[in-house]
Structure 1
Amino acid sequence: MPGPDERRDAGLQPERTRLAWRRTTLACSVTAVLALRQALRGSGSALEAGGAALIVLVWLAFLGVAHRRIRELAAYRPPVLAPRVALGAVLCTVALAVFAMTVIT
């Protein structure tokens, strides 16, 4: 009798998931660029400069998480998303939104 991994036919699910990670990365990049643009056009306060720096750091962290997951999904049998990686992606997304709102207001 085949094991559970041998019976599962993932079909196009890994490809759809990889495309979703790419769309999320694109949305994150656009948000970061718009927030940085706003920070550079602002008054130049220390809060805006700090927010811009944090936006860049969070954006780079998210790119690292997303790129790692996209590479993993290219495997024949992609591994399950680790809870730590999922938490990292969520924290980066929330932090980017918070920092962007700090810069905009």
Structure 2
Amino acid sequence: MPESTEVRRPVITPVRVVIALCLIAPLVAMVWVSSYAKIDPKLGGIPFFYWYQMLWVLISTALTMVAYKLWQHDQRSRPATPAAGSASRDKKGGASK
């Protein structure tokens, strides 16, 4: 039997917007080179250009972790779709029509 080919549009929620911002912020910070292409202020003798990028390595790690945890929470809180539940039941040897 043909399965339902219903196309569901992605749901945009505030949590997903925060996830997107967490993932886009490091990209924007690193692509906008003119904002950090300078020598001063130095931090322990290291020019701003270098320590700014190294700081973003840590910030990116933290933001990616936050995005991942939010995504996990978002996926757990979403209700299971009935179509997906019946399809998995059929594959496990459950009764089918």
Q: Which TM class, normalised by the smaller chain length?
A: 0.3 to 0.5
Q: What TM-score, normalized to structure 1?
A: 0.44
Q: Looking at secondary structure, tell me which structure has more helix per residue.
A: 1
Task: Tell me which of the two structures has the higher relative contact order, counting C-alpha pairs closer than 8 angstroms and 6 or more residues apart.
Answer: 1
- Please tell me whether Structure 1 or Structure 2 has the larger radius of gyration of its CA atoms: 2
Using the size of structure 2 for normalisation, the TM-score is 0.46
